[in-house]
Amino acid sequence: MRKFWKPLVAVVAVGLAAFLLYRTLSGYSIDDLMKAVAAIPAGRLVAAGGFAAASYICLSGFDYLALRYVGRPLPYRKAAWASFTSLSLGHNIGFAFLSSGAVRYRFYRRWGLSAEQVAKLIVFCGTTVGVGLMALGGTALLLRPRLAVEMTNLSMPLVIILGVVCLALPGLYLVLSAFVRKPLRVWRWSFELPRLRLAFWQVILGSVNFACVAACLYQALAAVTDVSYMGVASAYVIANTATLISHVPGGLGVIESVVMYLLPGQNLIGSLLVFRFVYFLIPLVLGVIVLLVTELVFRRKKRARAALADAPAGA
């Protein structure tokens, strides 16, 4: 069965990515797409692309740290390769913990990690996302409490409490990482808290990643309307944090909720399209290409090794 299910994972991932790309773009004509991009000055496009790239570099750092956490350090280029390919698909497919996890499994098992180590790596990366969002979200909630109240319809005291809790959790995580060495057991697997240095970099990289995503969105919006980075960043992080904690705002997408709050009644489809192009769709296309090429290269190497092993001795 292993001969079939592993290639099937890759085929399903690529198929889903292609379908989602088609579904995202099918509602717009070529003219709509071209006009949306043309309305954004080249400088803003380059800046948005730069912040998107910075975000994916931060994300590759998650894997780089995670490999050291599980005791199987690999060169950065391999961590970046696996991270970008898995997350460029996972961001678009959804359920990133599972979808990007399946692609990560394909890469890291080939590079010698056990299933348990890959599972720990995935949990470590998910934890990095969580502590980064909590740290930045708690800061935004406490620095811009009125903005949080208006966006979420929560009371001011509750917003303050949420902000304190959001900041306290990463702090507690760092304290536990400094002093607790006893493994945490989940079913038949055990998980150890990372050393303080790794935990510290988790909080830093996780926070910077969300700041870069917000900066990418800001560049797209600032090209067509007057809006501040702090407003966009605070609203973006608050929407993410509020959605994570209290499931608001009512089913709206995070990006759409930020734009609707900051710029109500304005037609910003062009900016949103550009943001989705730069941060989601272009990485998706590149990720699909990288995944396909990777599968071909690995399969060719596997066949070459098999042929060499089957060759008669001394041939």
The predicted pLDDT at position 103 comes to 86
Question: What angle, rounded to 10 degrees, do the helices at 42-69 and 115-143 form?
Answer: 130
Sign, CA torsion 238/239/241/242: positive
The predicted pLDDT at position 246 comes to 47
- The predicted model gives 255-267 an average pLDDT of 70
Over the chain, what is the mean pLDDT? 81
pTM of this prediction? 0.82
The predicted pLDDT at position 143 comes to 87
Task: Tell me how many degrees the CA angle 24-94-128 measures, rounded to the nearest 5.
Answer: 130
- 3-state SS assignment for residue 185: strand
How many other C-beta atoms are found inside a 10 Å radius of the C-beta of residue 113?
21
pLDDT digits 0-9 by tens, 111-158: 999 988 998 999 999 999 999 988 988 888 888 888 888 877 789 999
- The predicted model gives 3-24 an average pLDDT of 58
pLDDT exceeds 60 at position 186: yes
- 3-state SS assignment for residue 248: coil
The predicted pLDDT at position 205 comes to 96
The predicted pLDDT at position 75 comes to 95
- Return d(Cα 294, Cα 15) in angstroms, integer: 16
pLDDT digits 0-9 by tens, 226-244: 888 888 888 888 777 665 5
Burial grade of 304 (CB within 10 A; 0-12, 13-18, 19 or more): exposed
The predicted pLDDT at position 233 comes to 84
User: Could you tell me whether strands 189-191 and 184-186 are parallel, antiparallel, or unpaired per DSSP bridges?
Assistant: antiparallel
Q: How many CA atoms lie within 13 A of 167 on its CB side?
A: 11
- H helices within 114-155, ranges in order? 115-143, 145-152
Q: Which range has the worst mean pLDDT, 19-33, 47-61, 162-176?
A: 19-33
Written as one string, the DSSP assignment of 285-311 is: HHHHHHHHHHHHHHHHHHHHHHHHHHS
CB contact set of 212 (below 8 Å; sequence gap of 6+): 51, 52, 54, 55, 58
- Return d(Cα 51, Cα 151) in angstroms, integer: 25
Tokens of 210: 């969300």
- 3-state SS assignment for residue 253: coil
